[in-house]
Amino acid sequence: EHFRRLRGDTSIAQAAARLEARDYVEAFHGLRVGLARSPGNFRGRILLARLYAAQDPALALRTLEAGLPHSASEPEFLRALFG
């Protein structure tokens, strides 16, 4: 479990760098793979929700809501969800 989460966190970190480079397709893929392995990574979840929000705000909201059991005590996550 620990290594799975670590691999997910690594995928999310790489996806964040791809977002910075404006490589949205690879970033999207990396965020999806990363969250499948590390569903509690709230920063990755927020980034993925922001990508979804441009096309499908309802999916962005569901993506954030799915993270609530994992990140309910994270102020940054809560601001993204309720702000």
The pTM of the full predicted model, rounded to 2 decimals, is 0.93
> pLDDT digit of tens for each residue in the chain (83 aa)?
999 999 999 999 999 999 999 999 999 999 999 999 999 999 999 999 999 999 999 999 999 999 999 999 999 999 999 98
pLDDT for res 17: 98
d(CA 17, CA 13): 6
pLDDT for res 33: 98
pLDDT for res 83: 86
d(CA 22, CA 25): 9
In the numeric block, which tokens belong to residue 23?
């490589």
